[in-house]
Amino acid sequence: MRWLQAISSRQTLLRANRRSPRARRWELSEAELERMAAARSRPLDARTALMLLARSPRLATDVAHVLGGALRSVIFDNNPLISILDAERGRSAVPDAATGVGWYDEQPFLDVLAPHLRSELIALELGCGGGRISRRVAPMVGELVCTDVLASMVAEASENLAAYANVTVAQTDGFALHEFQERSFDLVFAQGVLGYLDPNPLLGMLDEVARVLRPDGVCVFNFSTIDHPQDMRWQLETVREQARRRRFSGATDRAYTRAQLSAMYEAVGLHVLPAAELAVAGAGRVVIAGRRPAGGA
């Protein structure tokens, strides 16, 4: 584990193949997907929240962090409890569903990532969630380190990825990548994660990505961009609805422009590669890849 710097007592590091696997399904029928969506769309009252917590006590760590303010400026600034309880709400309808099943198609992001995958690479994933993208990437790289800010997601990903001997799952603090040494990864990627960060936390995270990438290493992230016509429509409709409810959600992509994101990459020394567009519903269509220059500072 050349990439590992230090693991504090608060952080979790799990070798995925040491955990006993608990079967979670990635394929659901239409009826099951509809049941999950219906469960997630119901208003979350205090009684339901307590029942979900009782069913899944491992969420308590994340809830405690949120209530203590630890995650507030990272992602879940306005609706922390709903975000954390969401996977369990879905599972109340389909008990063995993996977190992320039924989200929009993962293939378009993987198609853009694929040319950057090689069997000798050491890759780092940010915001792995339940391991939806990770399970597809793991067979195509030498080593994969999956990270997430939530303890509950780290626990679930390590169960879901138990079959892959080359996968390690670690919890990060969401602000930085202190655990990892400078220049230790060939590839850093994230699907549906960095767009949730406000500009300064995002710039800080990109700076960390540039630090942990090896010279010539590449990062691949997707974003909702306000200058993409479909993303712009989605963003505006979402924000209008939230403004009407007087409650903006931390779990909604921030409205970045492509030029703003490119400037952030360049500021931390990542050279922007040509952007790709995904054919997906919702947000997060634009994929921006960056390369740490070979021999660069």
Residues that bind ligand SAM (CB under 6 A): 74-75, 100, 126-129, 132-133, 147-150, 153, 172, 174, 191-193, 196-197
Residue 78 vs 271, nearer CB to ligand SAM: 78
Could you write out the DSSP letters of every residue in 129-197? TTTTTHHHHGGGSSEEEEEES-HHHHHHHHHHTTT-TTEEEEE--SS--TTB-TT-EEEEEESS-GGGS
Beta-bridge partner residues of 144 = 123, 167
Residue 132 vs 292, nearer CB to ligand SAM: 132
Q: What's the CA gap between 182 and 209, in Å, rounded?
A: 9
Residue 101 vs 121, nearer CB to ligand SAM: 101
Q: What's the CA gap between 188 and 23, in Å, rounded?
A: 28
Task: Find out whether 212 and 180 touch, Cβ atoms under 8 Å.
Answer: yes
Rounded to a whole number of angstroms, the minimum distance from the CB of residue 18 to ligand SAM is: 21
Residue 124 vs 255, nearer CB to ligand SAM: 124
Rounded to a whole number of angstroms, the minimum distance from the CB of residue 38 to ligand SAM is: 20
Task: Find out whether 137 and 119 touch, Cβ atoms under 8 Å.
Answer: no
Distance between the two ends of the chain, CA-based, in angstroms? 24
Rounded to a whole number of angstroms, the minimum distance from the CB of residue 192 to ligand SAM is: 4
Residue 130 vs 216, nearer CB to ligand SAM: 130
Rounded to a whole number of angstroms, the minimum distance from the CB of residue 233 to ligand SAM is: 20
Rounded to a whole number of angstroms, the minimum distance from the CB of residue 128 to ligand SAM is: 6
Residue 44 neighbours by CB distance under 10 Å = 15
Task: Find out whether 16 and 167 touch, Cβ atoms under 8 Å.
Answer: yes
Q: What's the CA gap between 126 and 115, in Å, rounded?
A: 19
Residue 128 vs 167, nearer CB to ligand SAM: 128
Task: Find out whether 188 and 162 touch, Cβ atoms under 8 Å.
Answer: no
Rounded to a whole number of angstroms, the minimum distance from the CB of residue 241 to ligand SAM is: 19
